[in-house]
Amino acid sequence: MRLGVNIDHVATLRQARGEAYPSVVDAAHVCLNNGADQITIHLREDRRHIQDTDVEAIRLVTKKFGKPLNLEIGVDPEIVDIAIATAPDWICVVPEKREERTTEGGLDLHEPQNFERIKAACAKLKKEIPNVLISLFVEADEATIRAAKNIECDALEIHTGDFARAHLNGEDTSHFLEQFRGSKKLCEELSLGHHAGHGLTLESVEPLVQEKLFVEYNIGHWIICQAVFDGLGNVVKKLKEKLS
Positive or negative torsion for Cα 73, 244, 37, 167? positive
Is 42 a catalytic site residue? yes
Is 171 a catalytic site residue? no
- Given a contact cutoff of 8 angstroms between Cβ atoms, the answer to whether 214 and 208 are in contact is yes
Catalytic member of 42, 49, 167, 194: 42
Residue 82 CB burial class (10 angstroms; 0-12, 13-18, ≥19): middle
Secondary structure of 130-181 in HEC code, one letter for each residue: CCCEEEEEECCCHHHHHHHCCCCCCEEEEECHHHHHHHHCCCCCHHHHHHHH
Helices 52-65 and 77-86: crossing angle in degrees, nearest 10, is 30
Catalytic member of 29, 157, 198, 216: 198
- Enumerate the β-bridge partners of residue 133: 90
Catalytic member of 29, 49, 72, 167: 72
- Enumerate the β-bridge partners of residue 90: 70, 133
CA gap 53, 14 in Å, rounded: 14
- Given a contact cutoff of 8 angstroms between Cβ atoms, the answer to whether 24 and 65 are in contact is no
- Enumerate the β-bridge partners of residue 193: 155
Strands, E assignment, the chain: 2-6, 38-42, 69-73, 90-93, 133-138, 155-159, 193-197, 216-219
Catalytic residues: 42, 72, 198
